[in-house]
Amino acid sequence: MQGFNRTTTVTQFILVGFSSLGELQLLLFVFFLLLYLMILLANATIMAVIHFSHTLHTPMYGFLFILSFSESCYTFVIIPQLLIHLLSATKTISFVACATQLFFFLGFACTNCFLIAVMGYDRFVAICHPLRYTLIMSKRLGLGLISLSGATGFFIALVATNLICDMPFCGPNRVNHYFCDMAPVIKLACTDTHVKELALFSLSILVIMVPFLLILISYGFIVNTILKIPSAEGKRKAFATCASHLTVVFVHYGCASIIYLRPKSKSASDKDQLVAVTYTVVTPLLNPLVYSLRNQEVKTALKRVMGISIAIKWR
């Protein structure tokens, strides 16, 4: 992030999201604290179950392990600071801290988008090419896809952060959000932002629409293959293996599209905060819950791991 504009006069921003709620901020603090603890516990549980259960040592659950870890880091970038600001009279954040938060938020968010697409490809190979699954989805390919997702995600985050922070900020400095996101920050730049907004919109299409379209294409082949299965039970099991992933896909990409792929609107900033709560707090909690409640393999492994833990405890 060395492209920061040296003419910037704003040294700190004020995050005014939720400031108008007055005494309700204490209730919000309790609400977000409980959600944050649930997110950490749920994702830690998923990672522990995958780690300790040898039946889940497959590419699909390897991707889920990394996604859970990334989601935990993603919320760590935003929620702790939100909790502090809900209890604090001063809701300031330095320019450098804002840029850092923006970079890591975008980095993990982009990585998650690519990881979910990789999981869609994994389902495509598993259902459409089951006999060659272990040959195609090798450990080397899995690690390569994870590394590519992370490297691409953080490279895009670096480009986007530089595009924003390279602009001059000379006041006002009130960010109408509860964290440093692209649109609320770029509105404060004291220069014409149309070209850079177009560049950021293009990056959003790359991060959201391209993986989503690849997932849709994968599921087109998957549905075609499932419909050729002669038994109703076989079709049901095949669809069941995809249900968890599809739920995450539509919630994740749906919320991201509402924020980043719609025409610019000044009147939607308050609604944006509500949608942002969904993709910064609810979605990271939804992922482990969906995969634990709707996935029979995970539920079985969870019971087995819990049973072993209880047995060890009572020895």
Residue indicated by tokens 């649930």: 38
User: Is 315 within a domain?
Assistant: no
pLDDT at 25 over 90: no
DSSP per-residue string spanning 201-259: HHHHIIIIIHHHHHHHHHHHHHHHHHHT-SSHHHHHHHHHHHHHHHHHHHHHHHHHHHH
The per-residue pLDDT for 276 is 80
Full residue range of the structural domain in which residue 223 is found: 12-306
Domain presence at residue 66: yes
CATH label of the domain that carries residue 227: 1.20.1070.10
- Return the HEC string of 22-66: CCHHHHHHHHHHHHHHHHHHHHHHHHHHHHHCHHHCCHHHHHHHH
Sign of CA dihedral 228, 232, 234, 237: positive
- Would you say residue 185 has pLDDT above 70? yes
In a domain, 311, yes or no: no
Candidate ranges 71-85, 271-285, 287-301; pick with highest mean pLDDT: 71-85
Residue 9 confidence (pLDDT): 77
Query: Considering the domain boundaries, does residue 146 fall inside one?
Result: yes
pTM of the model: 0.88
pLDDT per position as a tens digit, 122-174: 999 999 998 999 999 999 999 999 999 999 999 999 999 999 998 989 878 88
Mean pLDDT within 272-284: 80
What element of type H or E holds 192? none
Residue 209, in any domain of the structure: yes
Asked whether the predicted pLDDT for residue 6 surpasses 80, the reply is no
The reply to whether 260 falls in a domain is: yes
What pLDDT, on a 0 to 100 scale, did the predictor assign at position 288? 81
Q: Which of 2-11, 41-50, 206-215, 223-232 comes out lowest in average pLDDT?
A: 2-11
If DSSP codes are grouped into helix, strand and coil, which group holds residue 197? helix
- What average pLDDT does the chain have? 85
pLDDT at 305 over 80: no
pLDDT for residue 7 is more than 70:
no
Fill in the amino acid letter for 177: H
Looking at the structure of the chain, the number of domains it has is 1
Q: What is the pLDDT of residues 187-233, one digit of tens each?
A: 899 888 899 999 999 999 999 999 999 999 999 999 999 888 888 88
Is position 113 within any domain?
Answer: yes
Residue 34 pLDDT level (bands cut at 50, 70, 90) = very high
Q: Is residue 283 part of a domain?
A: yes
Structure tokens at 122: 């994994």
Q: Give residue-wise pLDDT tens across range 68-118.
A: 999 999 999 999 999 998 888 888 999 999 999 999 999 999 999 999 999
